[in-house]
Structure 1
Amino acid sequence: MRISTVTMFDQSMASMNRQQSDFLKVSQQIASGRRVVNPSDDPQAASRAVGVSQSKAVTQQYADARVTARNSLAQSESVLNSVADAITSAKTLLVQAASDTLSDVDRESVAADLRGVYETLIGQANATDGNGRYLFGGYQDSSPPFARTSDEGISGVSYIGDENTREQRIDASRLMPVADNGKTIFQSIPSGAGYVARAERDSAPGDPSSLGVQDGYYANAGSVTFTGGPSRVDPNAEHFGKPFELEFSTDEDGNPVFSVHAIEEDGSRTLVVDDEAYESGETVSFGGISITLEGMPEEGDQIQVRPADDEGANQDLFKTLKDAIDLLEMDQEGTAENRAHFRNTLNTAMRELDNSLDNVLTVRASMGARLNELDVVDAVGGNRMMNYEQTLSDLVDLDYAQAISEYSLRQVGLQAAQRAFVDIKGLSLFNFL
């Protein structure tokens, strides 16, 4: 078999180029720190690495979303802390105003302080996150969620935001509420808040006097008052959980009696107590609840007793404060009817403030629970990210000890191929003549 000079030259060049290619490949791996520099180096590992990298990127996006969610919840929780303090301050002012030692001037001073609390709460309800987004407007976070309904004196406040709860996906299987809407916080009460009583009648007395009309109801003409709010004594009693209307009248001898009707869902009235004799200072029980009444009523006077979450009950924190301010600015040193109206409305306002405070604390506790959940999801996400990084490292990262050994081996192989090429190129028959 005859081997030509050209064949030997080509084979030596091919061997040297192959050794040089292998040497450069190892050099590139060491320089980049990756075993799989090009997909052709290990197609299967490269394909799996693409999938792991995508999962890693998604996990990082969820981590960034949790940072945003944590900032929103932390800011909202801080605002609700201030709101709870303001409600507590308002309750303290009302307790102070209930003292019989205060004059009308003193109560007007308390009303001025309460007005400041009222304005503070409006500001807190329209708080932003620092980027111009309103915290409690739901998805309508570009404008203030609470607006004044009048410019005369102390105005009412209405909610004009979105009643939905803004949510954010913090993990593949978790869509978390990150900002509760203002209606849930400032115009709602927690479930199981019990009953709230109001001393008011649905028709004008013979002399409406100066007490005016509140939401279609008139102030009672007599001096009957209730202490605190209705107490639950038997949740299993018939009609428990329904609104009640206690109405006073007189019997044939002119003695005061009262009747109690339960208000059904369709608006009909069911008689629960029929013309029972009334005595000042007694505790009246009906429908599983009881209430202590004092004073002398007039014909047609009523006590409206509703579950706190009933549509007819006031759940608006701002209305409670507005009614309390209007009350403190009213003449209390006049008739017994005025004083009774003051006492009843003040008791109702304090009960409603307690319910509003409970609601705010409930929402705040929910935010705290979500912040804790974010910490847990962060820990899980961190572990998942570490697993992805380890898997990605196993697939494409370089074993430096093995690579350096191979680098030395390829270097020797390249040098040997180069030396062999030099020797083969220098072969000639003339050296043997």
Structure 2
Amino acid sequence: MRISTVTMYEQSVGSMNRQQADFMHLSQQLASGRRVVNPSDDPQAASRAVAVGQSQAVNQQFSDARVSARNALSQEESVLNSVSDAVASAKALVIQAANGTLSDADRQSVASELRGIYETVLGQANATDGNGHYLFGGYQDSSAPFVSSGGSVGYEGADQVRKQRVDASRDMPVGDTGRDIFLSVPSGSGFVASQGGPDSTSVDGGNTGSVTFKGPDVIDSAVASASGRYQVVFSESGGDTTYSVLEQDDSGTWVSAGIDGEPYDAAGTTVEVGGLRMELKGQPADGDKITLGPADEMNTDLFKTFEKVLSVLESPAETDAEQATLSNTLNVAMREFDASLDNVLTKRASVGARLNELDVIDSVSGNRELNYAQTMSDLVDLDYNQAIAEYSLRQVGMQAAQQAFVGMRDLSLFKYL
């Protein structure tokens, strides 16, 4: 069989080209550090690498989301810390104002300081996160969540909490609503009493007598745990003062609690109902009322507590009725500030728990990222020892092909012409 010179040349050139292509491919692998430079190098590994890369990208997105969530929660924790300090300072001022030796001018001075704290708390309630989002406004960003109007503060924020997807199966609240922080108290915060009916808007609750109260104190926790709201109603007939106790049923109607027309002694009377005890003193007027119940069913508005304390401190206390209103209001405010402070501290603890959870998720995510990186390395990374050995072998092969071409070229008959 005769093989033409052209065929030999073509085969020799093709062999050199293949060796050069393999040599170039190995050079690309060594330069990039990747075994799979093109999908054709290992289609199955390339396909799996795409899936692992997508998982890595998703994991990174969750990591970025956790950074955002941590920033928001850290800012909220800082604000709640300031609010708890402010409420504690307010209670200290109320205790100071309850000193019976203070004059009206002294109480005015205390009220001035308390008003500063009130404005501070209102400012903190309308704090933003630096991106235009109100920390305690929920999904409401068009306006401040708390608006002061006519001497009172109203909540205009949303009741839905912002959430952030911080992991594949975890939607984490990255804030709390203003209603949960400033207009609520935790259940089990004890019991509170107030002058007048439960819906009274005036400081004295409509009472005109000089009766004062202490308590309510729990004397039977088992009974008190199931207690609702009660109302002590005073009646006067023929110079004798009596009292009756009503309780609120499930429909909101006040019905007798089994204590009706009991004699009242202005020097001191003890009322026990629903596992609770109250100490009453002073002379009530006909129709005066005292309402008591669980703290979470009475006034839960922190700003309203500030407002009624400011109102009573900024007003003179000259008559017996005014002094009774001052004493009762300050006693109730202490308990309400305690309940509000407990609520703020509870929410702050919840924020801390979420920050701790983010740390745990970060740790798990870090381990997951290491697993992804290891899997990706196993799929596409280059074994340098093997690649360098093959690189040297390909280099020898290419040189051999070149030498063979030189030898084949010298077999041409034209060399002898």
Give the 3 Å change call, closer, same or farther, for CA 202–398 of structure 1 in structure 2. Answer: closer
C-alpha contact (below 8 Å) 2:212/2:281 kept by paired residues:
yes
Q: Under a length normalisation based on structure 2, what TM-score does the superposition of the two structures give?
A: 0.94
Give the 3 Å change call, closer, same or farther, for CA 114–238 of structure 1 in structure 2. Answer: closer
2:104 is matched with 104
1:235: how far off?
A: 4.3
Say if 2:288 is the partner of 1:301: yes
1:429: how far off?
A: 5.1
Give the 3 Å change call, closer, same or farther, for CA 93–202 of structure 1 in structure 2. Answer: closer
Which of 299, 305, 311 is the aligned partner of 1:314? 299
Mapped partners of 2:326, 2:275: distance in 1: 27
1:259: how far off?
A: 1.2
Give the 3 Å change call, closer, same or farther, for CA 28–238 of structure 1 in structure 2. Answer: closer
1:134: how far off?
A: 1.4
Give the 3 Å change call, closer, same or farther, for CA 428–239 of structure 1 in structure 2. Answer: closer
Say if 2:247 is the partner of 1:237: no
Q: Deviations over 1:147-194 (max 9, x none)?
A: 1112xxxx2111111111111000000000001111111111112112
- Which amino acid in 1 is paired with 2:2? R
C-alpha contact (below 8 Å) 2:198/2:291 kept by paired residues:
no
1:181 is matched with 177
Q: Secondary structure at the match of 2:165?
A: strand
2:157 is matched with 161
1:11: how far off?
A: 1.8
Mapped partners of 1:370, 1:328: distance in 2: 40
Unaligned runs of 5+ in 2: none
C-alpha contact (below 8 Å) 2:203/2:325 kept by paired residues:
no
2:395 is matched with 411
- Which amino acid in 2 is paired with 1:380? V
1:142: how far off?
A: 3.9
1:268 is matched with 253
Mapped partners of 2:88, 2:270: distance in 1: 29
Deviates more, 1:10-19 or 1:422-431: 422-431
2:206 is matched with 219
Give the 3 Å change call, closer, same or farther, for CA 201–2 of structure 1 in structure 2. Answer: closer
C-alpha contact (below 8 Å) 1:147/1:159 kept by paired residues:
yes
2:149 is matched with 149
1:386 is matched with 370
- Which amino acid in 1 is paired with 2:82? S
Say if 2:350 is the partner of 1:366: yes
Identity %: 59
1:208 is matched with none
Give the 3 Å change call, closer, same or farther, for CA 163–430 of structure 1 in structure 2. Answer: closer
Mapped partners of 1:121, 1:198: distance in 2: 24
Q: Deviations over 1:386-423 (max 9, x none)?
A: 11111111111111111111111111111111111111
Which of 255, 259, 263 is the aligned partner of 2:244? 259
C-alpha contact (below 8 Å) 1:185/1:363 kept by paired residues:
yes
- Which amino acid in 2 is paired with 1:214? T
C-alpha contact (below 8 Å) 1:201/1:220 kept by paired residues:
no
Mapped partners of 2:163, 2:415: distance in 1: 89
